[in-house]
Amino acid sequence: MSQKALISFRGRTGQYGEMIMDLPVLWLIAGAMAVFTAWLLKKGSTMKTLTDAGVVLFLFVMMASMFVSAVVYLYVPTFVTIFELVALNMISMSLGLIPILTVLIRGDRQLDETRKGSTVSGRSIVIATVIVLAILSEVFMGWTFAIISGAASVSGQGVFSALVDSMSTYWFIFTMASEMAVTLYLVGRNFPSSFRWLVAIQTAIMVLSPTAIANTTWSNFTVAGNSAVMIVAIIFIFEYIFKNRALTDGASKYLIRLLGAYGLMMAGLFVWMLYGDVLLFVLSIVAEMTIYFGIVLDEKKLVAPPLVTWQSRPFWVLALLGGVFVAEYFMGGVLDDLALGNSYFAMLPFASLTGPALTVVGAAFYDFIIAVASITASFWFLLMMGIEMGTLVIFKIKYAREMETKVRLLLVVVAYALYSLYVPTYVLGMSGMSSVPWVGWSMGLGTAGAVAPSVILVILATYLISGGLSFFFGSRQVCSLFCTAALMYQGTAYDAMSSFNRTSKVGRHLLTSRVTNAYRAVISLVWISLLGSAVLSYLNSVGTISFSLFGTDVSYFFFAFYFSFLWYLVWIMIPFIGTYGCVTTGVCGWGSFNQIVSRFGIFRLKVKDSNACISCKTKDCAKVCPVGLTDMPGAFIDKGEFRSFKCIGVGDCVSACPYENVFFFDARNWVRTKLNRPLPPLAKPVRTEPLESPIDFGALAKTE
């Protein structure tokens, strides 16, 4: 039976029928239909008049009704059914002729025309209809072939379940992927090159569907491959918006919808791997195909004016970052399940949602944090995120002017790979981290576990080591090198997002080095919670009290809350609070400790010649600061140096200065002064025109 498809069915009369067909013949038919559909889509993309639309719609109606009838007949194969289906086909094809009949009666007209009182063009209505008919045709075609080949059954399960199962098989998925590939070949030249690559990525992701073939090797390979291709897509999107600050409305919507479909697809794979339910994954395929058909049929929207800078659209950026996080989150869950199995999630310490209302609310919040942190703190999520964000940091290296900045950016990637991934996972392991200063307790209290007498010296050593580094080299050793923030906020696209420091209400409020009352309140609450949880954790560990949060050490829970949940929420909120919100809002207790030490240490920013700052017209050093320290130029003019509690030494100001006037002063320069060694030479003569920054650091968002 490897080359034959045999299907038995029973009709209303109770009689059984049998159909035998060569599988290669089925694939030949499926391939031919895919090519025909692709050709129809090409014709649809060139529709201009109602006549053009009539022909395309009629053919799609004919194809859709044919496969709908085939499925109905396979379920109810009787003589009566044939007549009923013929009548249904006649009616449906008659409906498909309506546009053509309209032309004969009223005359032809352009699809782009709109009726009085309507803002929707005829083209939009036709395209929406074509999309519905194309998807309907593909769904029932896949269902038909799945039944005939035996991949789906007409008995033993409900009709809806059979439909969903058939849409998860290779008959539907591979046919759709073939159709996408052929269509891309036929109309790909009409797309801008960047979007041509994105559509190609969509095709690859469709092929790499783990549910298509019921085989463990195939599933494992495609889960990993699907994730890898999606990582490439996310990197591609970020780099695209970095290089194209102004986007058309069509391009903006396409990118957001695509990320939404990817997030839904990863969520669907996550549910499928945990529970075996393919419904959500199937819905994601339908969503992706809707987006694909829409862009193929109306690719002109990708380049149609007007152009609007995305830096002036905070809600669009919020949707972008939110979509990326959702896709990354479920992608991390999928990879965790692939590497560790379902037992990883089955063993999570979820609280029971029973008891008084207040207890249930608290347990639900606890479970939510644990569910998020179980993935965002996992190796595979951090690896996947590190590849995406690390690539953007590497891209930035070529724009950095100073060798020191280039070296630091390279060290950011290396430090993340070693400090956040390799050492905790492959060298120490979670059980050994709590005994190693500056690694196991790198985020302050609660990183590696409970606060116990055996780790008090480790915690103190951690603060001593990190505090010493911050005293001599500034808090940049954490916030701009070892912390995840260095990777997530310093890539190419995130430099462009620093414009939100000035355009968002909260971002403007956080500008300059001033410490507002709101900042004091936030940082006080953070430290009270961290110290309070540490005390409770310690007393619990020595047996003085018996206290935990639903069985979890309170200090560890606060670590999960701050660094595996709130951290990512702050990152998603960039368009409303600006970049480096962990620094500017005070929500990072570990960062604030190092910032305080740095403020009284050796590190500062200096200028070679204050006169250059007086003559400077652009003040790019302040514009590009990811923390929004706009008082920097004034300090350079008055004192020749700049010191701030919030300065974390990212160094964009050094690279952006038109006169190469700003430099870092830390322990290295301090030693030079003690040894009477010369500092960097004076600034070059002031130019009438500032140097052009290749990364356009000073670009501000335009108003819509």
Low-confidence ranges of the chain (pLDDT < 50): 1-20, 686-704
pLDDT at 11: 39
**What distance lies between CA 270 and its chain's CA centroid?**
16
pLDDT at 627: 92
Report whether 648 contacts 580 (CB < 8 A).
Answer: yes
Strand partners, 121: 114
Q: What is the CA radius of gyration of the chain?
A: 30
Alpha-carbon distance of 138 to 166, in angstroms, equals 11
pLDDT at 2: 42
pLDDT at 392: 95
Q: Give me the percent of the chain exceeding a pLDDT of 70.
A: 90
DSSP string of 476-543?
HHIIIIISHHHHHSSSHHHHHGGGHHHHSHHHHHT-SS---HHHHHHHHHHHHHHHHHHHHHHHHHTT
pLDDT at 554: 93
Q: What is the pLDDT of residues 478-501, one digit of tens each?
A: 999 999 999 999 999 988 899 999
Report residue 110 as tokens.
């352009």
Alpha-carbon distance of 175 to 163, in angstroms, equals 16
Q: Please tell me the pTM assigned to this model.
A: 0.89
Q: Which of 83, 204, 60, 201 is nearest to 136 (CA)?
A: 60
pLDDT at 54: 84
pLDDT at 110: 78
pLDDT at 684: 55
pLDDT at 336: 93
pLDDT at 266: 95
Q: Alpha helices of 48-150 — where are they, by DSSP H?
A: 50-75, 79-96, 98-106, 122-149
Report residue 544 as tokens.
């003085």
Q: Which of 172, 177, 179, 173 is nearest to 146 (CA)?
A: 172
